């Protein structure tokens, strides 16, 4: 069975930190979404430019040989 319950002072759990209640307006949400989209497009652009340079380098090597 179960051990009997101890009567006495109970160890209290540490108080949890509540996160602040943040509310955004529709305009703020729109700007956040557009900012995330811009960041994603910039990362994609870096990949496209890098791959383009790799292709140009390979074409240059191919034409030299």
pLDDT digits (tens, 9 = 90+) for 7-48: 766 666 677 888 888 899 999 999 999 999 999 999 999 999
Position 6 scores a pLDDT of 72
- Is residue 2 one of the residues assigned to a domain? no
- Hunting for tokens 């790799």 — which residue is that? 54
Assigned token pair, 53: 């340079």
Assigned token pair, 58: 């390979």
What is the number of domains present in the chain? 1
- Is residue 35 one of the residues assigned to a domain? yes
Average pLDDT for 38-65? 96
Which domain covers residue 47, as residue numbers? 25-65
Residues with Cβ within 8 Å of residue 32, at least 6 apart in sequence: 24
């Amino acid at each position: 069975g179960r051990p009997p319950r101890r009567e006495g002072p109970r160890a209290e759990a540490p108080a949890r930190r509540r996160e602040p209640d943040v509310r955004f307006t529709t305009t703020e949400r729109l700007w956040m979404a557009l900012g995330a989209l811009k960041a994603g497009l910039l990362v994609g652009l870096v990949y496209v430019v890098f791959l383009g340079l790799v292709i140009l380098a390979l074409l240059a090597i191919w034409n030299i040989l």
